[in-house]
A and B are shown apart, each in its own frame.
Chain A
Amino acid sequence: MVGALGARSIRQTFRRPQLISPIVVFPTLLLAIQTGGAGAGIELPGFPPVQSFLQFMLAGSMMQSMMLAGNSGGIAFAVDIEMGFTDRLFASPIPRFAIVLGRLAGTAALGLFASLWFLAIGLIFGAHIEGGVPGALLAIALITASAIAVGGIGAAIALRTGSASVVQGLFPLVLVVLFLSSAFFPQELMVEPAKTIAEYNPFSFIVEGVREPIISGIEAKQTLEAVAAIAGIILLGLGLSASALRHRLRTG
């Protein structure tokens, strides 16, 4: 059942350009502009040794795309609620958690797609993956797991509000979270107060875990910190989803 609902949500996303375009077009455009515009930043004292700014930026772009995938998944879930599809699922003899997990499976697939897309762009434009194939696989796995984590929060908001426009309105929040993390620049070189916030932002831990295999190689510390941050957000997302699901079933 989870597989069928997941497959449906993937097909739904790829059939609707308004759902897939924010995941691909916007982060790719920003990657190009930021790489070209702020690329000279690698010459600043304190910038970690990297082959190019593109290599540094890949992790941030994957994060951005993955977070927008989570948001798109939430929008699609809210549209299902608005159109009554979810009510029909609630009335059918399937486990309730399968409805949420099916949506999250679709979001995870989008996260997988986002990581493959940006790794391909990086390789085409000459970025090296210093961790080799294991490093690339680790980055893909972390982004896919992060998509489940962020998708859980998107699903919780969709279930709680039942409104696609509310979930869509969270789009600026995605940008805020990214700008207040080390997604686009080393945290040590950021300007206050963004620098201090980025130090404690869990998304900074995730992005560093994804970046390390790309710019230097697999490091146990960064990987474990990223896994811990993802696990924390997954637990939060699932907890909020379960609470929102109960609320929806109670109030109708």
Chain B
Amino acid sequence: MEAATETLRPAAVAPPAWRTNLATIAALMARARNELLRVPGAAIPGVLAPTIFFLGLNGVFGSLIHLPGFEAGSYESFIVPVSMLQGAGFTGAAAGVNLARDYEQGWVDRLLVSPAPRWVLLGGNVLAAAARAFIPATFVLAIGFLIGVRWPGIEGLIVCYLMVAAMAAAAACWGSMLALHYKSQSAAPLMQAGMMALVLLTPAYAPLALLQPWLEKIANVNPVTHVVEAARQGFVGGVTWADTWPGLLAVAGLLAVLGALALREMRRTNA
């Protein structure tokens, strides 16, 4: 009789894979958010460093604005998107450091034996970093407005925050790749220095035409130059599609390359 009832009862339907994957990504993002809420002090270095750089660079190099050919309204408006992107770079690198810590403590091993696909595990970490990057970016921008940064307009603000989030995601891919390769938090300086170099080897301090020839050559081939210029356009002029699409293409390329490398390391881990 019981057997007959069993056969009549509809079989439990497993949720579709995409829904399970989204739920896993959301859970990993919630874990990152909880870390932030439970240890708020952990976010301070990521906020402090770009703020110090922003105020420091503005105080030190502010008179560069008087150079012929420097056509931004003010140096603080010129430099603020760079500091926001720098904050994104630090936040992404911190995601790599946290992953290395999780590996050292055995948490990554437990994730790897779960049925979640590797890209989902990476995606949770990367998207959490992208969301977290809004904190230092907003803090730096608020300080910037207080000292006279020009209002970039809603379009300029949206493009800038889009670049910040994408840059943080790319930095998180870079940090995750190194974390999974070295499996140690001692790789942290490499994660941070790599992102710092990528963001600053651009027209970060001055327009392309005023850079030293060697840096101008590097900036011309560095894809982050397009990201900086897309993020900056609203602060120094108007937003145009011609200045936006190269930035979108650059972040898409960075995410594709660094994401693929991070995924390869994740697939190799404990394979």
Contacts and interface: CB of A to CB of B under 8 A. Distances in A.
Do A and B share a complex?
yes
Contact of B56 (A40, A44, A175): A175
A66 B78 CA distance: 31
Interface in B52-99: 52-53, 55-64, 66-67, 75
Interface stretch (A18-26, A75-83, A97-105, A152-160): A18-26
Given A191-B59, A191-B63, A194-B59, A37 B189 contact: no
A191 B62 contact: yes
A25 B206 contact: no
B63 A189 contact: yes
Contacts of B57: 179
Contact of A34 (B45, B48, B189, B205): B205
Nearest to A25: B193
A54 to B, nearest CB: 9
A38 B189 contact: no
A134 interface: no
B193 A43 contact: no
B49 to A, nearest CB: 6
A132 interface: no
Interface string A80-119: 0000000000000000000000000000000000000000
A163 to B, nearest CB: 13
A18 to B, nearest CB: 5
B205 A37 contact: yes
A37 B210 CA distance: 8
A179 B189 CA distance: 21
Given A179-B60, A190-B62, A191-B63, A38 B206 contact: yes
Contact-residue size bin, chain A (C-beta under 8 Å from the other chain): 20 to 34
Contacts of B64: 38, 40-41, 44
Nearest to A45: B66
Nearest to A176: B52
Interface in A160-174: 169, 172
A139 B57 CA distance: 25
A40 B67 contact: yes
Contact of B211 (A26, A37, A193): A37
B61 A25 contact: no
A180 interface: yes
Contacts of A172: 45, 48-49, 52
Interface residues of B, number: 36
Given A41-B67, A44-B63, A191-B63, A36 B186 contact: no
Nearest to A168: B45
Nearest to A41: B64
Given A172-B48, A179-B60, A190-B60, A29 B197 contact: yes
Interface in A24-65: 25-26, 29, 33-41, 43-44, 53
B212 interface: yes
Given A37-B211, A176-B56, A43 B67 contact: yes
A43 to B, nearest CB: 7
B131 interface: no
A194 B186 CA distance: 34
A22 B61 contact: no
B238 to A, nearest CB: 25
Nearest to A33: B200
Most buried by A among B49, B63, B186: B63
B52 A37 contact: no
Interface of B: 45, 48-49, 52-53, 55-64, 66-67, 75, 186, 188-189, 193, 196-197, 200-201, 203-206, 210-212, 214-215, 218
Given A25-B193, A35-B212, A191-B60, 20 more contacts: A17-B186, A18-B186, A25-B189, A26-B193, A33-B197, A33-B200, A37-B206, A41-B64, A172-B52, A176-B52, A178-B56, A179-B52, A179-B57, A179-B59, A184-B60, A190-B59, A191-B58, A191-B59, A191-B75, A194-B56
Interface of A: 17-18, 21-22, 25-26, 29, 33-41, 43-44, 53, 169, 172, 175-176, 178-180, 184-185, 189-191, 193-195
The 7 lowest CB-CB distance pairs between A and B, nearest first, are A194-B59, A179-B56, A36-B215, A37-B205, A191-B62, A36-B212, A40-B210
10 contacts: A18-B186, A25-B189, A26-B189, A33-B215, A36-B211, A39-B211, A39-B212, A176-B56, A191-B58, A191-B60
